[in-house]
């Protein structure tokens, strides 16, 4: 009798996909972790090896607006993947995700060159701690975090506008610290929000295995973006630059 009850509960948990929510969530976070490994691996290669440093130096020196080209490439990959999510295969979505992670790694080379290694390690550890705490909260809380969507979107728009202004208006160092503090708060909240969305996608795409896999990749991308943005804002706040 107990065994039958256990089997029934297991089937209810797994739904129609044959995969439990816990396992589905774990695979999503693991994919996000692999994306971070790609990003930091690429950044370490370009910032610590002779070949990587020479390539990065030549690209920055001889290619006009190299950083702008990188930014446009990242946006194109992310927007393209999101827009075509219903049409592409899960394997293609995963390839887009890792391509985006690699491009971000090239961008992160700048931080690895400018900031001291102990500072990078400490900030990464702090980011992982804060991110992990908020992700657990978002995954297990019974509070509906979707109500935060408009507030978070407003915070994101503010951060974009503030960073653009600081590119063109000199003398806003004090404002930069305020912006970074707001950025930390916004992406901590986004972490909980996006972690909860994994459950929503799992429930929404029951019975559609391909779409469920693509939703997992999309969630991994969202969580990846939360982590890297949180890392960058914490680094700008507390990171120690090289002399």
Kindly state whether residue 61 falls inside one of the protein's structural domains.
yes
Kindly state whether residue 198 falls inside one of the protein's structural domains.
yes
Asked if residue 237 lies in contact with residue 122, where contact means CB atoms within 8 angstroms, the answer is no
With 0-12 / 13-18 / 19 or more C-beta atoms within 10 angstroms meaning exposed / middle / buried, residue 138 is buried
Handedness of CA 220, 222, 228, 233 (dihedral sign): negative
Looking at residue 93, its pLDDT comes to 94
What DSSP assignment string belongs to 123-155?
HHHHHHHHHHHHHHHHHH--S-GGGGHHHHHHH
CA 86-82-69 angle, 5° bins: 145
Which residues, in sequence order, are CB contacts of 163 under 8 Å at separation 6+? 179
Q: What is the pTM of this model?
A: 0.89
Helix axes 90-114, 50-62, angle to 10 degrees: 90
Kindly state whether residue 243 falls inside one of the protein's structural domains.
no
Residue by residue, pLDDT tens for the chain (243 residues) are 444 444 444 444 444 556 888 999 999 999 999 999 999 999 999 999 999 999 999 998 998 888 889 989 999 999 999 889 889 999 999 999 999 999 999 999 999 999 999 999 999 999 999 999 999 999 998 898 988 999 999 999 999 888 888 877 766 667 888 999 999 999 999 999 999 999 999 998 988 889 999 999 999 999 999 999 999 999 999 999 987
Split into its structural domains, the chain has a count of 1
Both tokens of 29, joined, read 């976070």
| Rounded Cα distance, 161 and 112, in Å | 25
Looking at residue 97, its pLDDT comes to 96
Looking at residue 172, its pLDDT comes to 67
Looking at residue 166, its pLDDT comes to 80
Full domain range(s) for residue 223: 2-238
């Amino acid at each position: 009798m107990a065994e039958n009850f256990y089997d029934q509960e297991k089937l209810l948990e797994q739904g129609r996909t044959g995969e439990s929510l816990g396992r589905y969530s774990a695979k999503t976070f693991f994919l996000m972790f692999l994306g971070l490994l790609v990003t930091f691996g690429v950044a370490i290669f370009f910032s610590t090896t002779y070949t990587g440093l020479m390539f990065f130096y030549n690209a920055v020196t001889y290619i006009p607006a190299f950083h702008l080209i990188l930014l446009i490439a990242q946006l194109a990959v992310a927007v393209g993947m999101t827009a075509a999510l219903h049409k592409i295969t899960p394997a293609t979505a995963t390839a887009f995700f890792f391509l985006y992670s690699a491009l971000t790694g090239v961008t992160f080379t700048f931080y690895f060159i400018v900031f001291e290694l102990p500072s990078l390690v400490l900030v990464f550890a702090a980011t992982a701690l804060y991110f992990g705490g908020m992700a657990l909260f978002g995954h297990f809380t019974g509070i509906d975090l979707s109500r935060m969507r408009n507030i978070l979107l407003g915070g994101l728009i503010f951060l974009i506008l503030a960073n653009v202004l600081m590119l063109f208006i000199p003398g806003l160092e004090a404002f930069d610290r305020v912006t970074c503090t707001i950025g930390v708060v916004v992406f901590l909240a986004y972490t909980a929000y996006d972690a909860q969305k994994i459950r929503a996608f799992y429930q929404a795409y029951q019975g559609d295995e391909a779409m469920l896999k693509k939703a997992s990749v999309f969630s991994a991308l969202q969580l990846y973006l939360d982590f890297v943005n949180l890392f960058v804002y914490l680094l700008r706040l507390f990171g120690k630059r090289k002399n």
